[in-house]
Amino acid sequence: MSATTAELRRRRNAVDATFYVSGEYVACFLLFAALVYSITGIPTFDRDTTLDTDYVSPLNRWIWIGLLTAALPLLKKHWRTALQIARRSAPLLLLFGYFALTTTWALDPATAERRLLFSILQLVLLITLLSALRQPQWVQIAVTAACLAVALGDLATWVVMPGYAMTDEGFAGFQTQKNQTGLVMMYGCLAAGTGCLLPAKFWRRGVWAGALLIMLAILIISRSTTSQAIILLTPFLLMAVLLLTRLSDRGLLAVFTTAAALLGFLVFIYFAACDVIGRDPLLPLRGITFTDRLDLWQFVTEEIKKRPWLGAGYSSFWAITPSVQPSLKKVAWFSIYTVINEGHDGYLDLLATGGVFGFVGGVSVVFLSLIKAFRALQRSRQHRPGAQPRQVPLFHMALLLALLIHNVTESNLFTNQGILALALMLCVLDLNKWQEPSAPTRFIGR
């Protein structure tokens, strides 16, 4: 090889390296921007609305299209990686294919189609951005930075508009209500909390810890009990998961079989004892309304029975055209009292909109992702070649466990509303990107 050829190759490699690094920064910034906008939307600073509507600012679509347009140049170098991520995410893509099919029989086809297009746009955007991120930590950094930016915005709103930021129910900042603030801070705490464990210099860990403390403080004053309970419970769940990663596959099977048998035995003993003493086994639950959620759950269950297999269509149940929205035809408090755009149970909402097929598909995608996160933790513990830093799959595991719990009383499974809906897609796609033991400093497609 001549000296001239070697020099040209060296320069070309230097240009490629510069492009990859700069592209990674661009992708991280665009991911940060997408996360922030999915949280804040276009703030109206108006909480006087008493009935939810389907109004969406025309500017919203252009913002998302603008983010995707800004990301498209990244595909010039990373299209092979993007295709690999899409191929590995086949279950997720097939699920959205089924959701697209449901729009043909949706209660409100126009709304269902529009919401599906937004979700697909977000899906394409995330695949594009992930294809350009060579280090797995960037996703965790972008999530923490986005949630911290919103936290600082909430604090600024408290300083400027204290009466607006602090509601009677709890601290909401500039967001619609305190539960939204709580779940954003929960997401940020999961990212920052596991980020504190990333290998880094002391001052960098201090930054992670500072971000965690700020978001934890806002979570506490938001009085969002569900999000607070999840943050308290998650560390114990993660410790249990890390202990399970030490077991072989046979050991795991033995543990889960024993746990299932023990649980079944305890349930049997309880019901048998209640039968012997003549006590109502459901007595401890009598009178509990879960903050009036039981009325909502009963209503959604009745609606599911009307269309059990195919559902009402993707995101075509709440906040749709008033003439076809089921809840507005029901004489109940939630049809006239306040803004209700979910059934406050993600599993029931998934059944109501996607039917049995959508429910099975959605739950399967979540559990497949849990398995991939667990396998990634096993690889990192065994120091296998190409394993991610343990903190990254630990963050994804924390999010998936939090979502499984959160959706018992809230709803954000495969919708196009809120940050956790986008967070779920991001988590699934990122786990699929790194599911094979390829070096984390290289592209999958290179």
Residues 309 and 382 occupy one common structural domain: yes
Domain boundary among 173, 202, 223: 223
Paired with 108 in beta bridges are: none
Domain holding 377, by residue range, is 93-128+290-446
Structure tokens at 371: 């398995």
Tokens read off for 161? 């508009």
Residues 323 and 418 both lie in one domain? yes
Pair 435, 372: CB distance under 8 Å: yes
Same domain membership, residue 437 and residue 310: yes
What are the structure tokens assigned to 92, written together?
A: 């997720």
- How far apart are alpha carbons 222 and 4 in whole angstroms? 64
Contacts of 408 (CB under 8 A, 6+ apart): 345, 346, 347
- In the chain, what are the helix, strand and coil shares in percent, each to the nearest 5? 70, 0, 30
Do the beta carbons of residue 64 and residue 125 sit within 8 Å? yes
Phi and psi based region of residue 99 (left: phi greater than 0; alpha: psi -120 to 50; beta: remaining): alpha
Q: Is the pTM of this model over 0.85?
A: yes
> Do the domain assignments include residue 179?
yes
Cα(311)–Cα(234) distance, integer angstroms: 32
Q: Are residues 336 and 425 in the same domain?
A: yes
Whole-angstrom distance, CA of residue 316 vs CA of residue 355: 12
Which one of 165, 193, 223 terminates a domain?
223
Quick check: is 182 in a domain? yes
Residues 335 and 441 in one domain: yes
Q: Per-residue confidence of the chain (446 residues) as pLDDT tens digits?
A: 555 655 545 545 444 444 455 789 999 999 999 999 999 988 877 776 544 445 567 788 899 999 999 999 998 889 999 999 999 999 999 999 999 999 999 999 999 999 999 999 999 999 999 999 988 899 999 999 999 999 999 999 999 999 898 988 899 999 888 989 999 999 999 999 998 887 667 788 889 999 999 999 999 999 999 999 999 999 999 999 999 999 888 988 898 899 999 989 998 898 888 888 888 787 776 667 677 788 889 999 999 999 999 999 999 999 888 889 998 888 777 766 445 778 889 999 999 999 999 999 999 999 999 999 999 998 887 666 555 678 889 999 999 999 999 999 889 899 876 788 899 999 999 999 987 544 443 434 43
d(CA 29, CA 371): 29
Do 115 and 193 fall into the same domain?
no
End-to-end Cα separation, the chain, in angstroms: 24
Q: Same structural domain for residues 124 and 204?
A: no
- Residue that terminates a domain, selected from 196, 223, 250: 223
Domain tally, the chain? 2
Residues 427, 411: one domain? yes
